[in-house]
Amino acid sequence: MSGELIFTLWAAIATFQRQQIVKGTREGLDAARARGRVGGRPRALSAEQVTDARILLSAGQTQAAVAGKLGVSRWTLKRSLDFVVGI
């Protein structure tokens, strides 16, 4: 019986600690966003580079050639072309 009680107390303490960690993390991320910080990895290609890539592709160059000129892989170029819509 006492083993179950101790286990239940430890579980409750662990749950409380987890909630505090999550709360602190969210508050920190919100504060960073308020300061203008954007998380995540920077984009491999800028919008201007994607526009240039579209021009080169429409001129008949291959994706491999355009990707080589921009210094990225063909896959990165393809994802960037798919992601940046309307440019």
- Please state, in angstroms and rounded to a whole number, the distance separating the CA atoms of residues 77 and 31: 34
CA 77, 47, 65: angle at the middle one, nearest 5?
30
Sign, CA dihedral 57-60-61-63, equals positive
Predicted local distance difference test score (pLDDT) of residue 3: 84
| pLDDT in single tens digits along all 87 residues of the chain | 678 999 999 999 999 999 999 999 999 999 999 999 988 899 899 999 999 999 999 999 999 999 999 999 999 999 999 876 544
Predicted local distance difference test score (pLDDT) of residue 87: 46
